């Protein structure tokens, strides 16, 4: 794993420590680098009024958009779960990532074992419509 990926994994793990997951007991952290080299991270924040909570990926993306604006483009996105097997983004997160990803955006899912899933966004959500095509 190269140093930039390691830096992002550490940022995702740090974010997971702040997770608010009293209902699922499933903390998740996410971190990503945008095309400008900025790094953003986020954790899941649950709410008893399901589905009012936010997943870690969406928290990080919302945080980034609020800071750099709607032209955000994700270069590499990490999802970390403190589990033995990797966990991929849920369907809602895949749709939100789609708004800000490029087809070759790397999605890397890591966990507490050596298991890693590293793929292009176009493989995570095939046949999706990229928002740039609509505008």
Q: What is the pLDDT of residue 132?
A: 54
Residue ranges making up the domain that contains 11: 3-134
Catalytic residue among 57, 99, 127, 133: 57
Q: How many CB atoms lie within 10 A of CB 105?
A: 21
**At 98, which CATH number?**
3.40.140.10
Asked if residue 43 lies in contact with residue 18, where contact means CB atoms within 8 angstroms, the answer is yes
Which residue blocks in the chain are alpha helix, DSSP H?
Answer: 3-16, 56-68, 91-100, 121-124, 131-134
Output the pLDDT for position 28: 98
Nearest by Cα to 87 from 20, 27, 5: 27
What's the confidence (pLDDT) of residue 133?
58
**Catalytic residue check, 57:** yes
Instruction: Report pLDDT for 131.
Output: 56
**Residue 107, pLDDT score:** 98
What's the CA gap between 8 and 52, in Å, rounded? 27
Digit-by-digit pLDDT tens for the chain (135 residues) are: 799 999 999 999 999 999 999 999 999 999 999 999 999 999 999 999 988 899 999 999 999 999 999 999 999 999 999 999 999 999 999 999 999 999 999 999 999 999 999 999 999 999 886 655 555
Task: Give the count of domains, the chain.
Answer: 1
């Amino acid at each position: 794993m190269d140093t930039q990926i390691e830096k992002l994994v550490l940022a995702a793990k740090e974010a997971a420590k702040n997770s608010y997951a009293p209902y699922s007991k499933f903390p998740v952290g996410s971190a990503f680098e945008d095309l400008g080299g900025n790094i953003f991270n986020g954790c899941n924040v649950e709410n008893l009024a399901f589905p009012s909570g936010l997943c870690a990926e969406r928290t990080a993306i919302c945080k980034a958009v609020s800071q750099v604006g709607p032209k955000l483009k994700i270069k590499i996105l990490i999802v970390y779960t403190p589990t033995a097997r990797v966990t991929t983004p849920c369907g809602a997160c895949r749709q939100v990532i789609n708004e800000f990803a490029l087809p070759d955006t790397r999605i890397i899912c890591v966990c507490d074992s050596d298991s890693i899933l590293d793929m292009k966004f176009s493989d995570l959500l095939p046949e999706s419509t990229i928002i740039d095509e609509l505008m």
